Amino acid sequence: MPNTKPVGVAYSDPELVAGTTITGAAVSGGTIANATISGATITSPTITGATVALTSLNLDVAKPAAAGSTRADATAMTASFNWVTAADATKGVIIPAPTAGRVIAVKNDDTANAILKVYAPGSAKINGVAGSTAFSMAAKTACFFVAYDTTDWFSIPLVAS
């Protein structure tokens, strides 16, 4: 005999809510704990209170030529690693706007022992000095610039080889 009575079906769309567990990762509010992520691309991440083990690190790279004689006409850099050419003690580059935790590497590739001028953009500062005043990098040196916040870059010189 065929079933002739209507049957109700209840369902709900899945969503991540507090108390959900995904392959051993606990979700609580906006926090995911004990998660393992593999095979993923993470763009513009903000990770706090976590230990991250990197098996590889790929930075975007560029080889810009220094230009100008002031911040107004210096070459703007956009890459994470910048191998700068054409320094002549007057030409310069501008590092990007700082965001807390951002790191920019700059290598002065000048072969004639010329200084490279590095400027901060807008109202940002390098080592507490206004961006309109250049940070001077000696020839054949490299430096990390680390942003503390949205205003302050700090330089960390690298040992020349």
Tell me, yes or no, if the pTM score tops 0.85. Answer: no
pLDDT digits (tens, 9 = 90+) for 83-92: 999 999 999 9
pLDDT digits (tens, 9 = 90+) for 35-52: 666 555 555 555 656 666
DSSP string for residues in 58-105: ---EE-PBPB-SSGGGSEEP-SSEEEEB---SS-EEEPPPP-TT-EEE
At 121, is the secondary structure helix, strand, or coil?
A: coil
